[in-house]
Structure 1
Amino acid sequence: MAETVPPVSDSLASNTTKFTFEEQATASVALYSMSIFCIIVGGIRSAKYVAKIVKKNKLIEGSITMKEAKKFPLSASMVLFGLYLFFKPSDQRFNWVASVAQKLQVPQEYVDKINATIISYTANSTEPTKPLYEKILNKIPANIQEQIVVPEFVQGYFHWVAERIPHIGKDEVMILLTFLICFEGLTALATLVKPLISGLLRIIPGLGFNAPYLLSLKKGTKEMDEGDIEDASKKDTEYLFKVEIDRHDIFALIFCSPVLISHLTQRHWITNNLIGIAFSILGIERLHLASFRAGALLLAGLFIYDIFWVFGTDVMTSVAKGIDAPILLQFPQDIYQVGPWEAVKHSMLGLGDIVIPGIFIALLRRFDQRVVQTTAEAKNPNKKGRYYFAVTIVAYALGLLITMAVMHHFKAAQPALLYLVPCCLLIPLLLSAIRGETSALWNYDEGKYVDNEENRKKVDPSKKNN
Structure 2
Amino acid sequence: MSLLCIILGGIRSARYVKRMISKKKLIEGSITVKEAKKFPITASCVLFGLYLFFKPDGKAWLMSLGGTYLPSQYSLMINKTLGTSESNATTSFGPGIFKKIGSYLPEHIVEFFPEMPELKKEYFMKFLLYMICFQGCVALANLLKPVFSRILRLLPIGDHWPRFNTPYFVSWKKGNKEMDSDDVEDAPKKDTEYLLKIDFDTHDLIALFFCLSVGISHVMQRHWITNNIIGIAFSIYGIEYLHLSSFKAGSFLLAGLFVYDVFWVFATDVMTSVAKGIDAPILLQFPQDIFINGWKDAKKHSMLGLGDIVIPGIFIALLRRFDLRVIDKAEHKNAKSRFYFHVTIISYALGLFITMGVMHYFKAAQPALLYLVPCCLVIPLTFSLIRGEFSALWNYNEEQFIEKTDEQKKEKVDSKKKNN
Q: TM-score range by the shorter chain?
A: 0.7 to 0.9
Q: Give the percent of matched residue pairs that are identical in Structure 1 and Structure 2.
A: 61
Q: 2:267 aligns with which of 304, 312, 319?
A: 312
What does the per-residue CA deviation read over 1:105-135, in whole Å, with 9 as the maximum and x for residues that have no partner? x356534633664559959967998685651
Specify which structure has the bigger relative contact order, considering alpha-carbon pairs within 8 angstroms and separated by 6 or more residues.
1
Partner of 2:104: 135
What does the per-residue CA deviation read over 1:23-52, in whole Å, with 9 as the maximum and x for residues that have no partner? xxxxxxxxxxx1111110000000010111
Partner of 2:416: none
Partner of 2:206: 251
Partner of 1:406: 358
User: What is the aligned residue count?
Assistant: 401
Structure 1 Cα separation of the partners of residues 384 and 308 of structure 2: 24
Secondary structure of 1:219's aligned partner: strand
TM-score, normalised via structure 2 length: 0.88
Shift of 1:361: 0.4
Label 1:57 to 1:73 Cα distance change in 2 as closer, same or farther (>3 A): same
Shift of 1:333: 1.4
What does the per-residue CA deviation read over 1:331-352, in whole Å, with 9 as the maximum and x for residues that have no partner? 1112112221222221111111
Mapping of 1:387-406 within 5 angstroms?
A: 387-406=339-358
Secondary structure of 2:284's aligned partner: strand
Structure 1 Cα separation of the partners of residues 310 and 398 of structure 2: 19
Q: 1:170 aligns with which of 105, 118, 121?
A: 121
Shift of 1:313: 1.8
Secondary structure of 1:64's aligned partner: coil
Secondary structure of 1:63's aligned partner: coil
Shift of 1:75: 1.1
Partner of 2:215: 260
Shift of 1:257: 1.3
Label 1:124 to 1:261 Cα distance change in 2 as closer, same or farther (>3 A): closer
| One-letter code aligned to 2:144 | V
Shift of 1:234: 3.3
Q: 2:394 aligns with which of 436, 442, 454?
A: 442
Structure 1 Cα separation of the partners of residues 267 and 218 of structure 2: 33
Partner of 2:33: 66
Shift of 1:308: 1.2
Partner of 2:148: 197
Structure 1 Cα separation of the partners of residues 68 and 110 of structure 2: 47
Label 1:446 to 1:110 Cα distance change in 2 as closer, same or farther (>3 A): same
| One-letter code aligned to 1:96 | W
Shift of 1:103: 3.7
Partner of 1:431: 383
What does the per-residue CA deviation read over 1:136-166, in whole Å, with 9 as the maximum and x for residues that have no partner? 34xxxxxxxxxxxx65xx543121x52xx3x
Structure 1 Cα separation of the partners of residues 112 and 251 of structure 2: 59
Label 1:449 to 1:121 Cα distance change in 2 as closer, same or farther (>3 A): farther
Shift of 1:305: 1.1
CA contact (8 A) 1:47 1:371 kept: yes
Structure 2 Cα separation of the partners of residues 130 and 440 of structure 1: 61
| One-letter code aligned to 1:81 | F
Partner of 2:176: 221
Structure 2 Cα separation of the partners of residues 195 and 309 of structure 1: 40
| One-letter code aligned to 2:345 | I
Structure 1 Cα separation of the partners of residues 92 and 307 of structure 2: 40
Partner of 2:137: 186
CA contact (8 A) 2:56 2:92 kept: no
Label 1:261 to 1:408 Cα distance change in 2 as closer, same or farther (>3 A): same
Mapping of 1:361-400 within 5 angstroms?
A: 361-373=316-328, 378=330, 381-400=333-352
Q: 1:76 aligns with which of 19, 29, 43?
A: 43
Shift of 1:413: 0.4
Structure 1 Cα separation of the partners of residues 250 and 92 of structure 2: 49
Please tell me whether residue 51 in structure 1 is matched to residue 18 in structure 2. yes
Please tell me whether residue 87 in structure 1 is matched to residue 54 in structure 2. yes
Structure 2 Cα separation of the partners of residues 46 and 441 of structure 1: 18
Please tell me whether residue 110 in structure 1 is matched to residue 110 in structure 2. no
Structure 1 Cα separation of the partners of residues 101 and 407 of structure 2: 50
Structure 1 Cα separation of the partners of residues 321 and 237 of structure 2: 16
Partner of 1:25: none
Shift of 1:206: 2.8
Shift of 1:310: 1.5
CA contact (8 A) 1:448 1:455 kept: no
Shift of 1:304: 1.1
- Where do 5+ consecutive residues of structure 2 fail to align? 411-420
Partner of 1:97: 62
Label 1:266 to 1:121 Cα distance change in 2 as closer, same or farther (>3 A): same
Give the alignment's Cα RMSD to 1 decimal: 2.7
| One-letter code aligned to 1:53 | M
CA contact (8 A) 1:98 1:114 kept: no
CA contact (8 A) 1:398 1:423 kept: yes
TM-score, normalised via structure 1 length: 0.80
Structure 2 Cα separation of the partners of residues 99 and 324 of structure 1: 22
- Where do 5+ consecutive residues of structure 1 fail to align? 1-33, 138-149, 459-466
